[in-house]
Amino acid sequence: MFILETYTSAIFFCVITMICWGSWANTQKFSSNIWRFELYYWDYGIGVFLSSLLLAFTMGSIGSGGRPFVADMLQADTANLYSAIIGGVLFNVANILLVAAIGIAGMAVAFPVGIGLALVIGVITNYLENPTGNINLISVGVLLIVLAIILNALAYKDVLGSTKGSKGLLLSLFAGALMGFFYKYVAASMASNFAEPEMGKLSPYSALFMFSVGLLGSNFVFNSLQMKFPFQGHSLTFSTYFKGSARDHFMGILGGLIWFIGMAFSIIASEKAGPALSYGLGQGATLVAAIWGIFIWKEFKEAPAKTKLKLNLMLILYALGLGLLILSK
């Protein structure tokens, strides 16, 4: 299977993760105006699952290092398979809440608040599981990101000091709290040495496949509930999904593909960078998403000057915090 050899290449992969995780939600904006995110999310889950299969039988099955995908799945312990599935389920619940928050509050708010909180929780939990990197630099980096989250929430309050605004923030916070824990379950299922993996443990490609199984499978529970009891608007029936255009379905699948590339690169990089750093840098997606929301989608174009100052400070603090995370190793 394909394995990274250097720390530098792992950091490059983490940067790709950051871009993918910060950009996938744009595909929802390119869907038609009548295509609700509950419908979009079915195709997103399908896109993640199909991408995991494609990667498993390509990068996960070539090369002389490690175990090829099929052989790895056949030798895996049940506990490790379930651990990766649990990661997929936890992520799915968190991501449904996040997509709902994007629909209410916009990318410039939902990502920095939700994913920023997930970054803080995820870095701490993954570091405790696998302490890699300078704890002092990691701590200061996380603190700067917390300050950036607070600034973003204050900027949002300046613009929407309403019930709608509070709902968007609350959904973002719940999403972030759950998303901070999913990665450690996937990381725990994997071998510590990808080239010579322990028996019973999963290769990164097998772990990603089981993760996608958990995500898509739990979609039939959580997204079905979301359709019946939506956060916004009226309830939806399954027949509505089949009325979507080819473009609507394609955008959902593309969103899943883009997000999964980010997840795969983060997992592949985790051996050389360490799970805490790999996850933390990937969640720098908040910076990318905020840039999309502020400068491309103009979500704060009517905001007063003091609000724009807070947003600029937020971006600077995020960038500094991510820089310290890179330097921590």
Q: Where are the domains of the chain?
A: 7-327
Burial label, 90 (beta-carbon count in 10 A; 0-12, 13-18, 19+): buried
Phi, psi angles (nearest 5°) of residue 146: -60, -45
User: What pLDDT is attached to residue 92?
Assistant: 96
Mean pLDDT of the chain: 90
Q: Give the pLDDT band (50/70/90) at residue 281.
A: confident
Q: Report the C-alpha gap between 119 and 245 in whole angstroms.
A: 35
In DSSP notation, 16-36 reads HHHHHHHHTTHHHHTS-TT--
Tens of pLDDT, residue by residue over 56-111, are 999 999 988 899 999 999 999 999 999 999 999 999 999 999 888 877 777 667 77
Closest CA to 142 of 120, 121, 127: 120
- Helical ranges in 111-203 per DSSP H: 116-129, 135-159, 163-188
Q: Distances in Å between the alpha carbon of 58 and those of 2, 51, 280? A: 9, 11, 27
Helix (H, G, I), strand (E, B), or coil: what is residue 202?
A: strand
User: What pLDDT is attached to residue 4?
Assistant: 94
